[in-house]
Structure 1
């Protein structure tokens, strides 16, 4: 923007200088030429008057008496009937400006001036005009730079404010710049920041309230399942199912606790180094029976012994969402494949079903977007859970569907904590 402002201002100034400067040069050149011709003519009239006075006084007309009456850079020829011709000064070479005047007694005087003198005067005038034009250009550039800074700096500041707002920092800045249009934009951004701040506060309060209300029934359900496990010694199937349900409740409790913690302080992280194989194995054991009931198989392949960084409960929830989607919308064998790429552990979940419709594509992770008449929240929540610990959830292939969960394998360096002593 600064370059465009400077360029446009300079272009306008150059056009103005070109139009008026050329006109001024033409007018000045004609004025100088006209003035030089008038001066030569005046010189000739003056010399005729001197010659006529000498004739009336009976004095001789010769160069000795008239050489001091002619200007140094001019040449004159005096002609008097009955007298020899008188030449004054040095005859110029090249183009000249000439004027001839006649007296009452037949005398005539011709005065000449080199045209180069006029050209030099025009050149000096042109240099003065060029110097003034250059000063005008420099002044215009300085003014354009100042104006560009005055306009570009607020726009850069407003862009930073918008970027900060988009990154989740809804604090208004209350900065004004003295330009009505820019101040209007700043007012709108500040108002938007305040509204977004209120919305985020309300959402966090709702998440905290919901999480707090869910903890009590989940705790009671967990205690009840523990009692079933403890008293079902003679019913191994019941004991096994209760243990599986207890594990699910514990993971759900972990997710609820995570939501509660994030609602209090979104910057608080709970990522740890954990055994990725163990989480995958738990999910396979929980969902295997459901897939067998549909006549489908579950297969594990890939690298074993992987460890990843994240929240085990959140990772389990992401995998559970992918497996449940495969059970509801997929077909064929459910395949879970693990691999390593760079410093990330990857879990790929795929099946032989029809996959994601072509019109959805990457939008499948957007909230309320669904191609199977579902809520459209599962994959959106799963992606948020993955990104909360620095991972990511992606759709690698639409047909057949292949979803991939990327998790870091190393803990990121922790920033130093500030200790308040008081």
Structure 2
């Protein structure tokens, strides 16, 4: 591209120089020719003043010395050369001067000027001066050579300026192209550097924004399989244990077991759908589902986790304040977060698991606590990949992402006993409660 820019600049400058130099060269030639004619006419006039009527009777005429290659001659009315140098018989230019006015023109290879000699308003003769045309051509060639040198210098300067401007124009584009190639090779951290040219700078910023969004999308999609595996592992294990137990010793209430299995499968389908939505959309666009009452959602969570915790010899206590029973919440959001916190308590905690729902500062607060002690630092517990052992460090990071997607906040409120608190505004009121969440 640099060569193309330089080539375009050279063509533009060359056209401009031609359009300027050709008329200037013609003007120089015309000026030099006019100047030489004027010099010959001045010499002829000076000689005409010195020529008296006596030259017609044969008196000699005192002619001044002519410049090298120039000639001066005086002609009588018969067109014969009386004094000086020139053709013996008057030429066309001399005959034109017999009419009483100065004349000029070319005679062979000479530039000729003729001036009449007058006395008492009568033409008595003609003074003829001439100079070789080669003198004019020599001066013209010198002037044209100077013009050509100036044009060449201008072209060189134009090329240097064009090369510099081409570098300024192409370097940001080359950087953008290089960043795109690195991204195509798998380096998703490559970004185009902003430049000094506003138009190219806007392209670079738009390119970087596009890559940022694509990177976020790819990261969400890459996390989907791990998130889905984490969220499905516990319910799948429970369903598998129930089916194996029913196969080994078919219970009398087999329809109840099958109904429970069907509900579990529906819960799994809902979980997969929620995670797919999270992976495909931006968090700000996630979870715009029809709201449900907080009491109904938490009662469903109690039903799901009572059995798994009971099989481990642990209790589940649910305490929902009456004034938040009908609190509108996005059901899938609250369900996913409570499942993550309950699973975390079941895997890493001990003793009784307590699920509490209350209202504080105009937002819904849901506490999930157990009787254990959190080993990880509070700042690291929500980092993807961080785990106190026996886990993958996915669940709590996913839960915080889901909470923030719904306009809420998930924090560690106590290390001993371990207590996680979810602050969640009512559906459709997230923006009105943002300040309250920041203060909590």
| TM-score category of the 2 structures, normalised to the smaller one | 0.3 to 0.5
TM-score scaled by structure 1? Answer: 0.45
Flag the structure with larger Rg. 2
